[in-house]
Structure formats: C-alpha cells, structure tokens
Structure 1
C-alpha cells in the first residue's frame, strides 16, 4: 500500500519483508545469475567434467548435461531461477545447447556490470544487446550450411557431436545410428510439404541389466507389460491388434442398487448371466479377427480364460500414451466399446511376443509396416548408466529432429561464436551512441564459449582465442578448437557440426534472460511464514485452544 509522507512516497510492507533497490538489487541479481553460469561452465565441451548431485533424500545423479544439472539444483534466488528457465526453453526447443545459453547469459550480465559501473543506464545496455542479437541472428543465417538429410553420414556427424563429452561417448556411433533410424521412422510431412518430427512418438523404455551395446530400436512398440494369463500364447505372428479403451469386466451400475436373492436358482441365474456377458465380450473380440488385445482398463478372469482358449494374447492396464503410440505404430483405432469393434479398427504387426528383459517381462509389437511411432529399449549395467544414456539419447533425438525439420547446420568447437564476435564487432563500429559499447561487450561475451572450451581442455585460453581470431580474420569461418590436440582446425571437415536452431536459440534465450534481469532495479521479498515444528497448526494439536489443554 503506497502513501505520501511529507512529499516522500511510503510503501507499506508486511513485517519481515525485505526490499533491495537500485544498484544493490542489480548487483545481487547479476551475481546470482553468474553463479549459475559458473556452476555449469566446467561441463562445456568434449573434455568437460561431470557433476554429482545429491538431493535431500540422498538420491544421486551423475551427469554433465546442463539441463539436468540446473533442474536438479535446489535454488532460491529468483534471478538464478530465470537462468534455469532459459535452459528449460532451449532444451524444449532445440534439445541441446542449454549449457551454452546459460554460460553466454552469465557472461552478458558480467559485461553489463562493467557498463553499469561506468554509469550507463540499463535500458541503453539492453537496447544494445537486442541490436547485437538481431545482427547475430542474421550472421548465423549467412554462415549456415544446408545439410542433405538423406545422407545418414552427415546426420551421424551431428548426432555424434551432441553426445561428445558425455559418459556414453564410447557408444556414440552405435547410439547415433539408433537415433537417426528412430527419427526418420516418425518423420511426417506437414502443411506445405514441411517435414515435422515429434519426438514424443518415440517411446523410451529403460531396463537395468546387460550393457549399453544391447540397447535396441523396435520398429513398433515395446511396452512394459506382461501377458495376463499363463494359458495364452507368448508369440503371435501376423498379429491383428485390438486397442480397447473399455473394461473387459461386468460394469457396476451408475446408481447404488441392491439385488435380493431369495433362492439358489436365482443366484445361479445371476452368476450364469454374468458369465454369459463376459463370454460375449470374448466372442465379440474373436469375431473381429483380433489375435492380440491391448486393454487400457481391467480384464476379468473369466474373459482372460475365454481369450486364452481362443489363443488370443491380452495385456491390461496399458498407459494412455502407450495406447496412442500403438495406434500410430500399428495403424489401429482405439475403440471405447467392445460391441463396436470391427476388422477395420484392428492394427497390424508382423510379430507380437513377450520377452524377458533383465528381470522383467515386456511385450514387443514389432515388424510394423511404416510405423509412425517406435520404441527404444535402453540397457546398461547400473541405474546411473541407464539414466545417462537416456539423457544422451534425448539430446540426439531432438538434435536429429531439428536438422531434419530445418536442414541447416553450423560448425561447432567455438567456430560459430568466434565468427559471431568478429562480425558483431565490425557492426558495432557502424553504430553511434552508447549502444555501441553494449554491442562490443556482446561480442566479447560470446567469446566465453571458445575460452571455456580451451580452459576445460587444459589449454591456455588467451593463446587459443588469439589463434582462433587470426584464423577467422583470414576468412576461415569454420575454424574451431580441437579439444584433444589444441590445434585450430576446420570443424566442418572434422565432423563437429551442430544444428543452426541450437545456436540461434542459445543466443536468443541468453539475451532475453540477461535483458530481463538487467531491467530489474527493485526487489521486494515477502517473509515466508514459518511453519511450526512437526507441521501441526499453531496452538498445539488441531482443535485445541492456544496454549494446549487447559489445566483441571
């Protein structure tokens, strides 16, 4: 509540609330964001290090995936949370480049702090950063190269670049082949002939046991369910699959009802009718021609018995998401009533079989003709290994999808950032006014990526940055740092290639986060209400007066 006291505005805050204003508020926010950036900076590049994250329950995550590290970190600062939002956005849009976005965002704020100390207004800095970001976007479009998406070798280079530096790097050729096959299988043609890749159509199942090399792609679906009845076959070829979203059991009445049975004949008739109803369900499924039933709800024991007698495989309580993917994989339609099922609703697969993977049984629906949904079953020696392979595969699938949709890529290894810095500096010379300083600082900020790559690889960052700049000034736009040898080489020839979308999104998101944080000059934090010990309501146990029980 605001008021006036002798011409001075008064802001009435709750007791215990804190208010930070002006330069102090900016400095606090910038330092929080820089701390987040420095936490993930050492994970950048093929020789980046891993982080071990232990939560309050003692669960351990070991990874160098920027998005995962930031998601697992327990952070209170609102400014730091904004940086984490940046990572989430980049991960959702591009699948990779989260660490790059956060590190650039942190460096932009560090450079902005230098300008703030020179009494340059935050709005001037944000205006300069936006001009630089727009220029960077145009430069990225200019230096991007078209990719032949039918050439699997080109796609493999991009997928391999994504996994470089991660735990599962040793299997990068094997995993990249799986990722490319999976993404190509689910690629559809959208409006105007544009290619559309929805990686949600790739079902990923994790099974601890075996080794990473036993990870497999299923041209169809692998669902974590087992056949419901021991008398059912474990393998069916030329499968006709019924997808049913209805309970295969006797329905309960909508209203509360009682049935009074006065004789044994009435009871027998009641039970016989119940069995006939369930027998009709099994008969209806058999008449449709189905020999595999995937049910989203329950299947009664009697229905199971009749289906087993007819040699039909049945699975119950399948997830809704699995049912939708099964429809896309097999071409079947999900029916909501057994009576309505017909042959045209059935999906088709060359083989349906139950297999034991590690200690669990799974149902594999494979050899589907032109499936629009596929499955990947990830294997690994421990839970940590399986989780890390899943994170690596997620990045590979998203990145491969970006390339197939956009068809444009750029060189990695710090080549793009060095070229951006060079071209944005040239652009800054054409500007007048104080924005020029912000644009120059933007150019200096993006150089943090090649600098961090050199540091994380054990090389002198200044020497490598000077060599990189010299190569780019000679017109070698793909010159980058080889993290293993320390030499400046052509990254495109070396097969270090990244999607254009990843770089564009990283730069745009970093600038958006930095400008948002810079514009804040007042932080009002309300005091959190302290909960009593044990979570009980104030004043003792529930229902008691304050102070507990009165004396006798």
Structure 2
C-alpha cells in the first residue's frame, strides 16, 4: 500500500515539474511570437535606467529579457544557437521549440512515456530534415532573382536594405560566401545620421590622432601593430638608477631612429591596438601618415585581412626596412571621413571585403535597421550555401503532410512523438496567420487542402488578403538551412526540457562538502 502511494507521489512530482517548465517556456514564446511574419509587431524593451530598445529581432528580445527560470534560459540558448550558426530565423527557432514542448507535454499527460515521445520526436525531426532537403531549390548564381526576394523576405520588406545586401554579396563574390569562417552579416555597420551605402572595402571605427590631415591617401603601405607605437618600456624602479635611465634613453633613441624607416617603406596608415607616443604622432603628422590608436581587435583583424598586413609587435621596428617590408599590407585608398568620424580603406592587397553602412536619423533607428540588414545578409548567405524553400510556413506545412503519411505506417508509441513534430511544424504558419488577423484553424486547414489538391509546397496564405497564394511567384522565400537548423535546435532543447524529472537547487560553489 505504501509502495503504491509512493509511485503516485513521484508521478505527481514529475508532472508538476514538467508543467512548471512548460509554463516558463510558454512565457518566453509569447514574448517573441507576436513579431513573426510580415504583420508581426515590434517589442519595446525598457532597462532599469530608462533606456529603451524597440525591435522586431527575436534574439535581441530574448537576450535583453530579465529571465531567471532555468527552463526559460534553455529556450534563450535556442535563439543564441540559431543566431551563431545561421544568423537568421531566431524567432522561428523559438516558436518551434515552444510548440514541440507544448505538443510533447500533451502526449506525456495522455500517458505516453517521455522516452517514447522524445525518441519519436527525434525520428520525426530527422525525417523532416530529409524532406526539407528534398524540396530545396538551388540558387543559380548571384544574379538569380531569388536572391533579392530572399533578402526582402528576411529584411522585413525593406527593399533598400535588401538591394544593399545583394550588392555587397556580389562585391565579395560567391566563393567568399561559401567560406566557412566568413559571415556577410559581420560586414553590416550602423551609423547615426549617415546615408546607407555599400563601401568596397572596410571602415575602421576610430578617429585618427591626426584627423586634421585633410588628405586622401593612395597606394600606401599599411602597418598593423598588436602593440603600442611607443619605445619599449623600462620599469619605474629602473629609472631611479643611472643605468636604468641610460637604458631608457637608448630605447627612446632607438625608437626615434626607426621612424624614418616608415617613410622608406611607403607607410601611409598605422593602426595600433594601444597608445601612440607623442613624438611618433608628430612625426607621422609631419609626413602625412594617418595614425590610429586603441583600435579594436575586430577592426585590426579586418584591416589585416583586407590589406594583407601581418600584425607585428613594436620590436619589429628594430628590423631593417627589407626585413620589415613583408609584414606590411597595402591599400589603394585610405582617408578619414569627417562626417562618419571613421577611416575608409579600400582596394586592399589582401582579401576582398565590403562594408554595408546602414544609416538612419537616430542611433536607435540605425541599430534596428542594422539588425534587419544582418538578418537579410545571413539569409542570403545561407541560401547561397544551401538553397531555399517557400517561406511563410508553407514548406513546414507541406513537410508536416509528409510526416502524416509516414505516421500512418508507424507502429509503437514513438508515433506520438512524430505527432508532436507534425503539430510543431504547423505552428509557424498558424502564428503568422494570427498576427495577420485571421483564424488560424480555418487558414491552416484551407491551405492544407489546397497543397494536397495541387501537390505543391509553394502555396501559402497571403497575409493581406487571406487567400491561398503561390509564394514562389510572390517572392516569399526562406533559406533551407534556416529552417533545418531552427528545427534541429528546437528539437534538442525540447528533448532536454521534456526529460527533466526534478529541479534541484545547487549549493554555492564555495561551500565545503
């Protein structure tokens, strides 16, 4: 009798934990799902000091939220993973994860063992990924008209930004877009009070020490210092001794004598990640050399890659001009832009680079537009790498129909996990329809019937008219990789949350056992 009562109590505890986690997940999803689709609205984030961010970007909303619940934090990791790996589709990934958890909880509360639900979900996701790949359309080069349509869809219908992204993609070339470590989205730069443009090179976010030089530099050498442009240091303790002071004077003289070497090498731009000695600054100003100090590591890396410079330490200045020359980069153009308060560099001797400058009247608007541009850039790059599918939840609904047919042939309780995946795949379309002001049950069933009758995965619901429309003809497309990674990431976190039996607070790490 006591054993029976214990089992019942354990079951209630597990059910309570599951429902508590599901409620936290539901709260997270509700914060972002209203932004999904062309009719999605913005979210206002308010900080403790009164700072305000108005955005439609899912990962920004989730990262800025004050979240304490552990299950909710796991959901945020889904968006971060999507952002890190793909750069677009963070809201979709979050919505899918929430739907998988909700559908999974429904099956568990019906009596299906969690292990069977999770196993079935994994099988369903694997099958869905296969179907997504089978239905993928390939990009026929950077001139493919689908490129602009994908950029417009991901860029929230902002055609100006979409055209900038396409121009930038053409500027770096298709081979560069396929490189593993290259992210076109990293080329986006927000700038208050500026016009939007694509610059064929890089823009260094730093004002030169000698900004008064109103000079455009052409065909110059570029020196990148992962160090200070100063004499080598002597400790303060050593300076109080005669030998130490003499050493200090020798180092200063050695540094001073190395500066003319820069002229011999044709150096026109020096970028250092630390400070610059006043004497070196004066020398460079007198001889028309732009000097940037305390440049960020990111900008130094981009400058090195674009110009072909090899970053060096200050000790490299001791070398002869012939020995130092291989470390220099080159640029066909460099100039300080007073309006932007940044330095423009182009026609570098290294890798081809572009900068997508996104301007707006205010800093807040510029930041939001830059987030939109990064989404569009990530989507374009993902499409070049992995092709595209109809957007707006149309492809997901078609794949859900594929899974329904497979579900009919399955035996065992794993089939209930596949049911959870089917329900989750319908969620993006349902949420987009809700945000557009239509009845989701009516529109999902209407579209499901239309796709089955036409045997087409490109049919979707027009958010203006509510009518069934061919999304490929309408130019509503999403990259395949965005959909696949979103579903896989959602499946991982949903499986983890569904399997949680008990939540236990850990003791502080400094407590002794």
* TM-score scaled by length of structure 2: 0.89
Whole-angstrom CA distance in 1 between matches of 2:285 and 2:296: 22
Kept after mapping to 2: 8 A contact 1:351/1:366: yes
Match of 1:339 among 296, 314, 318: 318
Whole-angstrom CA distance in 2 between matches of 1:155 and 1:330: 29
Structure with higher Rg: it is 1
Kept after mapping to 2: 8 A contact 1:205/1:375: yes
Whole-angstrom CA distance in 1 between matches of 2:211 and 2:448: 69
Question: Does 2:57 match 1:65?
Answer: yes
Kept after mapping to 2: 8 A contact 1:96/1:395: yes
Equivalent residue pairs, number: 497
Q: How does 1:222-241 map to 2 (within 5 A)?
A: 222-229=203-210, 232-241=213-222
Q: How does 1:23-172 map to 2 (within 5 A)?
A: 23-164=15-156, 169=157, 172=158
Q: How does 1:122-271 map to 2 (within 5 A)?
A: 122-164=114-156, 169=157, 172-186=158-172, 195-196=179-180, 198-199=182-183, 202-210=186-194, 214-229=195-210, 232-253=213-234, 256-259=237-240
Whole-angstrom CA distance in 2 between matches of 1:105 and 1:274: 61
Question: Does 2:389 match 1:389?
Answer: no
Whole-angstrom CA distance in 2 between matches of 1:71 and 1:227: 34
Whole-angstrom CA distance in 1 between matches of 2:197 and 2:24: 43
Question: Does 2:492 match 1:505?
Answer: no
Kept after mapping to 2: 8 A contact 1:104/1:448: yes
Kept after mapping to 2: 8 A contact 1:152/1:180: no
Whole-angstrom CA distance in 2 between matches of 1:355 and 1:128: 58
Whole-angstrom CA distance in 2 between matches of 1:476 and 1:204: 36
Most deviating of 48-57 and 518-527? 518-527
**Cα deviations across residues 271-325 of structure 1 (Å, max 9, x unaligned)?**
9867643431221111222122222332222122222222222222222221111
Give the 3 Å change call, closer, same or farther, for CA 125–202 of structure 1 in structure 2: closer
Match of 2:388 among 409, 414, 419: 409
Give the 3 Å change call, closer, same or farther, for CA 270–108 of structure 1 in structure 2: closer
**Cα deviations across residues 76-105 of structure 1 (Å, max 9, x unaligned)?**
111111111111111111211211122122
Match of 1:15 in 2: none
Give the 3 Å change call, closer, same or farther, for CA 187–334 of structure 1 in structure 2: farther
Question: Does 2:341 match 1:355?
Answer: no
Whole-angstrom CA distance in 2 between matches of 1:471 and 1:518: 34
Deviation at 1:391, TM superposition (A): 1.0
Give the 3 Å change call, closer, same or farther, for CA 251–200 of structure 1 in structure 2: farther
Whole-angstrom CA distance in 2 between matches of 1:47 and 1:271: 67
Whole-angstrom CA distance in 1 between matches of 2:250 and 2:488: 67
Give the 3 Å change call, closer, same or farther, for CA 473–231 of structure 1 in structure 2: closer
Deviation at 1:200, TM superposition (A): 7.3
Deviation at 1:186, TM superposition (A): 4.5
Greater percentage in helix: 2
Whole-angstrom CA distance in 1 between matches of 2:27 and 2:374: 27
Whole-angstrom CA distance in 2 between matches of 1:141 and 1:62: 35
Match of 1:447 in 2: 426
Match of 2:397 in 1: 418
Match of 2:9 in 1: none
Match of 2:416 among 437, 454, 479: 437
Kept after mapping to 2: 8 A contact 1:104/1:510: yes
Runs of 5+ unmatched residues, structure 2: 7-11
Whole-angstrom CA distance in 1 between matches of 2:252 and 2:412: 86
Whole-angstrom CA distance in 1 between matches of 2:448 and 2:423: 12
Deviation at 1:57, TM superposition (A): 2.5
Deviation at 1:504, TM superposition (A): 0.6
